[in-house]
Structure 1
Amino acid sequence: MTRPGIAALLLLLLTPAAEARSLAALQARGTLELCAHPNALPFSSRADNPPGFQIELGRALAKELGLSLTPVWIVTTSQIRAAGCDIILDAIADQQAQEETGLKLGRPYYRSGVVLAVRPESPVRAYRDLGAHNRVGVQVGSVAAMTLDGRGVPISVFGFEDDILQGLAGGDIDAAAVTPVAAGFYNAGHPGDALRLVHPDGSVPALSWNVSVGMKAPDEALRRAVDDAMARLAERGVLQGIYGRYGVTLQPPE
């Protein structure tokens, strides 16, 4: 993940819950407030050129709800607490994580995790193909680092996902363990040198998870409205189109 991207996710996923809010209150206000980082493409950008998939999806979701979108730009945890936004997109649908954050989760809308990005000629076709002869770039302190190291796979530790992908492109490592978002966005920017993605299989369950809309203390009407709106966007292919513009192919949730 890029430097601002990882910072954005950490900030968003470690945020405590705000005061309860209702669908009726949002309708009276006329806006849906989305917490997003001002400089974290492909997630979001205040520059709006492009805006990032979170802003595009936020606008589409708000429109489905009969509202307009108001991005709430945040860069620190204290700002998130004060902002009191209504939703957070791309929240990891993990109950243990939500016990810490207080987020209420909508229905999962895609499956994410950690993919192996490899050069097209690589013989690696699955995680089980990795062995002592493959060096894999991992992010420091990540689940991928612990999982692969525990399997005896040689790892090289990097600070950020963009550094891992650059290391792969430069031939310093044989594979990059990164999120599908990071790998897809890299491929979108390097169409002539696209990397092949190997998705996690059943042998590495810790490296895949569902993703949902995170809501700050919603009432039941708001939760249902968000779930129904997201379902309509998925049925019409809007979700897939938004993420696809940033090189990300959505996998169905499990």
Structure 2
Amino acid sequence: MTRNEVRNCSRHALLGKAIRALLLSTMLAAPVVSAGADEIKPLRLCADPTNLPFSSDDPGKPGLYLEIGQAVAQKLGRPVSTTWYKSYFGKRTVRETLLSKQCDAMVGLPLVDDFMGPAVIFSKPIAHEGYALIGAKDRKLTGIDDLRGLRVAVQYQSTPQNLLALRDEIRKVTVLSPDEGMTALEQGKVDVAFIWAPVAGWLNKTAYNDKYQLVPTEGAGLLWETAIGFAKASGALRDEVDGVLPSLQSDISALFAKYGVPNGAAIKFGQANQAAQAKEPVTVGQVTSDKPVQTAAAGGGDVKAGRELFNGTCAHCHGPDAVQAERKIDLRLLKKRYADDMESTYWKTVHDGRPAKGMPAWKDVYSDDELKNVYSYLLTVQGASD
């Protein structure tokens, strides 16, 4: 073989090695690209780690809402991840998880018009939740008249407490929680408990061996629909979830039964007490006020709409109806604090927020017209704490 032939063979050998190396590197890289393209994002659920029967970080007892979320994710063909946050912060929990894009969906939010304003959108209803009468299984519990002469446990500042307020023939025993109401029933201190049904049902199943009957009640402030909540920018995900919910209804009903939460027919309740209800003060959150709601425009906005939006979104930090004992976040002092700069300070704060102090920016959540309504409402409460 000549020297030129040797050179040509060497060139061919090197070229062959280069081609094989290129093919090998392409084969190795291909699965990585494919995996990235086909990766399925998890459905991120907001949940409380210690809030049975609704949710728990115990894999053996994940809770009603978490299991519903898992069933939805399975239908969508998506894995699940969980963002844990204590739910006793109420609407602040929604703001700091769902509205802060820490999670995608929150199961079990009340499907009511004034819940977090337009910032939260909802799926189709998944169930009904509310208050129930709990008593011995042989006791007749078909309406308010069956409570005459009985001792009835009612939760502090709840609809049942207001409903029975003027019924002198019913002895009311105030309790602070469903747990306390069930304990009073078990200890014979009351004859009936008129308390929050989901927790009462869970306790009846797990702590009292289904000893008591639970009768869901229906009436103003007693029963409402619940749904899955999403941030308003997640309309496409909401529509996906709505598409699979009808096929999950039997599974959801089974989960309610599993956790002892009543989800059946409710008795009409409260109609007999219309006169008493008409005399009751207006209750917002934990604050009771006899003061009429102002509806006239102030500051160019709708005061009534502003109050509803304020109590739905801002009240968890600044207090229902802006009643707040902590002066630095008492919005009834804005005029006193900022004088002629009150309006400009308000707009800068709600538009840009004060992240270092826990105040989010609302300009991408609410329109300026909606924020103007809130400002108009705040004008009506200035000086109320002086």
Given the two structures, how large is their TM-score scaled by the length of structure 1? 0.78
Aligned with residue 254 of structure 2, among 241, 247, 251? 241
Q: Distance in 1 between matches of 2:154 and 2:100?
A: 34
SS in 1 for 2:254: helix
What residue in structure 1 maps to residue 223 of structure 2? 208
Aligned with residue 60 of structure 1, among 71, 76, 83? 71
Q: Distance in 2 between matches of 1:196 and 1:114?
A: 13
Does the 8 Å CA contact 1:137/1:164 hold for their aligned counterparts? yes
Aligned with residue 33 of structure 1, among 30, 34, 44? 44
Aligned with residue 47 of structure 1, among 42, 45, 58? 58
- Flag the structure with larger Rg: 2
Aligned with residue 87 of structure 1, among 97, 105, 114? 105
- One-letter amino acid of the structure 2 residue matched with residue 70 of structure 1: S
Relative to structure 1, is the Cα distance of residues 67 and 94 closer, same or farther in structure 2, using a 3 angstrom cutoff?
Answer: same
Spell out, residue by residue over 1:206-239, the C-alpha distance to the aligned partner (whole angstroms, 9 max, x if none).
31111111111244332221112221111xx211
1:214-229 to structure 2, matched below 5 A, reads 214-229=229-244
Does the 8 Å CA contact 2:66/2:107 hold for their aligned counterparts? no
Q: Distance in 2 between matches of 1:177 and 1:252?
A: 17
Aligned with residue 141 of structure 1, among 132, 143, 157? 157
Q: CA RMSD in A?
A: 2.4
Does the 8 Å CA contact 1:87/1:215 hold for their aligned counterparts? yes
> Which is further off, 54-63 or 72-81?
72-81
Number of equivalences: 221
Which has the larger share of helix? 2
Q: Distance in 2 between matches of 1:218 and 1:244?
A: 33
What residue in structure 2 maps to residue 12 of structure 1? none
Q: Distance in 1 between matches of 2:235 and 2:140?
A: 49
Establish whether residue 185 from structure 1 lines up as the match of residue 196 from structure 2. Answer: no
Does the 8 Å CA contact 1:127/1:200 hold for their aligned counterparts? no
Does the 8 Å CA contact 1:106/1:212 hold for their aligned counterparts? yes
Spell out, residue by residue over 1:29-75, the C-alpha distance to the aligned partner (whole angstroms, 9 max, x if none).
61111111111111111122211111211111111112111110012
Structure 1 gaps, min length 5: 1-26
Q: Distance in 2 between matches of 1:193 and 1:104?
A: 36
Relative to structure 1, is the Cα distance of residues 72 and 252 closer, same or farther in structure 2, using a 3 angstrom cutoff?
Answer: farther
Does the 8 Å CA contact 1:110/1:252 hold for their aligned counterparts? no
Q: CA deviation at 1:112?
A: 1.5
1:86-165 to structure 2, matched below 5 A, reads 86-99=104-117, 102-131=119-148, 133-152=149-168, 153-165=170-182
Relative to structure 1, is the Cα distance of residues 190 and 198 closer, same or farther in structure 2, using a 3 angstrom cutoff?
Answer: same
Q: Distance in 1 between matches of 2:63 and 2:70?
A: 11
Aligned with residue 199 of structure 1, among 195, 208, 216? 216
SS in 1 for 2:128: strand
> Which is further off, 34-43 or 149-158?
149-158
Relative to structure 1, is the Cα distance of residues 57 and 205 closer, same or farther in structure 2, using a 3 angstrom cutoff?
Answer: same
Given the two structures, how large is their TM-score scaled by the length of structure 2? 0.53
Spell out, residue by residue over 1:59-94, the C-alpha distance to the aligned partner (whole angstroms, 9 max, x if none).
111111121111100125365365622111111111
- One-letter amino acid of the structure 1 residue matched with residue 137 of structure 2: P
Does the 8 Å CA contact 2:130/2:198 hold for their aligned counterparts? no
The percent of aligned pairs where both chains have the same amino acid is 25
SS in 2 for 1:184: helix
Relative to structure 1, is the Cα distance of residues 150 and 211 closer, same or farther in structure 2, using a 3 angstrom cutoff?
Answer: farther
Q: Distance in 1 between matches of 2:166 and 2:105?
A: 36
Structure 2 gaps, min length 5: 1-37, 267-386
Does the 8 Å CA contact 1:111/1:252 hold for their aligned counterparts? no
Q: Distance in 2 between matches of 1:205 and 1:121?
A: 27
Relative to structure 1, is the Cα distance of residues 151 and 33 closer, same or farther in structure 2, using a 3 angstrom cutoff?
Answer: farther
SS in 2 for 1:96: coil
Q: Distance in 1 between matches of 2:150 and 2:207?
A: 24
Q: Distance in 1 between matches of 2:167 and 2:124?
A: 33
Does the 8 Å CA contact 1:127/1:198 hold for their aligned counterparts? no
Q: Distance in 1 between matches of 2:208 and 2:153?
A: 22
